[in-house]
């Protein structure tokens, strides 16, 4: 809502105009390793020392550090010896690579992939399609083919997707009591961070990560510790290959990648495979029913436009897709964080 002050001086518009500058400052400080260095040394450092350690110009580093202070990602101390910078608590926890709650990998994915696709947002809106061709010169007909244009890009995507579950995983898995389901398939389970949360929250569960062969290969080798025997793997294409029988299927951030036809096709296969009395757990960021928000989800939906074939949906839209596939007794839980949970049952 605009107030008189907004009309006199457009604070909000100016803030939005600089929105991407804010993102880019955080991306750059992460990419250069500013927060990692300050965590490692454990003491406040001068701009010149940070620049020397990270191999950057002094003038560029000083400006970057000052902008990070403005964003509350760094704190500054003025002493007789000069100006010294240190991490704020939030940066230590979320922006350093080694922290258990690190968001570093998703930030790097935004900086190196999402940002480039968003450069073509106007084209995406005009054409109603993803922008891989313009951004990376790769065919945009198969979004995951484009996303996984090299093994390095695939690893970065998987690490990025994993990041969010250290801050939201428990909430989506505890939204419903899933302890009665012991045989679980995580369809499109990727790097497996949610599967790891699942076996830690429900120690009696056995979960199989089902994903494309090259994803499974990397998940097995790089992401899931070999001693984690409660997690198994299944290589397959959930549109073209069979889906094995299980009690519960988790589809986390899967349906938002696809249009309604593909979602119905996939959910129907899941319903057919599901044991009677079993269910499906959708983990998605839910739009308000009138699509008035949350803003983060509206922005994610734009991101689905520039990167995939899908969109974010309301809980009523997900319920309709589930019902069309045969699922009933649909329950919705909003977690208040980025991702929510929808549970459907097979009678």
Ligand X SMILES: C[S@@+](CC[C@H](N)C(=O)[O-])C[C@H]1O[C@@H](n2cnc3c(N)ncnc32)[C@H](O)[C@@H]1O
Q: Which residues form the interface with ligand X (CB under 6 A)?
A: 144, 161, 188-190, 194, 211-212, 215, 237-239, 252-254, 257
Residues noted as catalytic: 256
Instruction: Pick the closer one to ligand X by CB: 189 or 278.
Output: 189
Residue 291's region, left for phi above 0, alpha for psi from -120 to 50, else beta, is left
For residue 237, the minimal CB distance to ligand X (Å) is 4
Structure tokens at 293: 């928000």
Residue with smallest beta-carbon separation from ligand X: 188
Smallest separation, CB 105 to ligand X (Å): 11
Q: Which is nearer to ligand X, 135 or 304 (CB)?
A: 304
Q: Min. distance of Cβ 213 from ligand X in angstroms?
A: 9
Nearer Cβ to ligand X, position 62 or 211? 211
Q: Which is nearer to ligand X, 269 or 346 (CB)?
A: 269
Q: How far is the CB of 158 from ligand X (least distance, A)?
A: 7
CA distance 284 to 340: 5
């Amino acid at each position: 809502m605009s107030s008189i002050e907004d009309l006199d001086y457009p604070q909000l518009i100016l803030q939005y105009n600089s929105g991407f500058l804010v993102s880019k400052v955080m991306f750059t400080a992460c990419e250069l390793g500013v927060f990692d260095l300050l965590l490692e040394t454990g003491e406040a450092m001068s701009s010149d020392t940070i620049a020397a350690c990270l191999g950057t110009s002094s003038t560029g580093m000083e400006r970057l550090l000052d902008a990070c202070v403005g964003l509350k990602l760094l704190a500054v101390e003025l002493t007789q010896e000069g100006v010294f910078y240190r991490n704020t608590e939030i940066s230590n926890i979320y922006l350093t690579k080694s922290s258990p709650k690190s968001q570093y990998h998703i930030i790097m994915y935004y900086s190196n992939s999402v940002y480039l696709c968003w450069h073509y947002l106007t084209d995406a809106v005009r054409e109603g399609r993803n922008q891989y061709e313009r951004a990376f010169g790769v065919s945009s007909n198969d979004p995951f083919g484009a996303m996984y244009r090299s093994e390095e890009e695939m690893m970065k995507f998987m690490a990025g997707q994993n990041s969010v579950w250290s801050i939201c995983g428990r909430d989506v898995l505890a939204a419903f009591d899933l302890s009665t389901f012991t045989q679980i398939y995580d369809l499109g389970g990727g790097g497996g961070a949610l599967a790891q949360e699942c076996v830690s929250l429900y120690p009696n569960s056995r979960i199989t990560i089902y994903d494309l062969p090259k994803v499974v290969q990397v998940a097995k080798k790089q992401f899931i510790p070999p001693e984690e025997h409660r997690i198994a793997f299944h290589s397959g294409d959930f549109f073209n290959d069979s889906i094995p029988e299980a009690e519960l299927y988790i589809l986390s951030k899967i349906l938002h990648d696809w249009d309604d036809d593909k979602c119905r096709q996939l959910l129907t296969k899941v319903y057919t495979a599901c044991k009677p009395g079993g269910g499906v757990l959708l983990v998605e960021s839910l739009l308000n029913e009138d699509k008035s928000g949350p803003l983060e989800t509206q922005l994610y939906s734009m991101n689905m436009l520039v990167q995939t074939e899908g969109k974010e949906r309301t809980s009523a839209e997900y319920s309709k897709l589930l019902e069309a596939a045969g699922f009933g007794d649909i329950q919705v839980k909003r977690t208040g964080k980025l991702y929510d949970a929808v549970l459907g049952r097979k009678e």
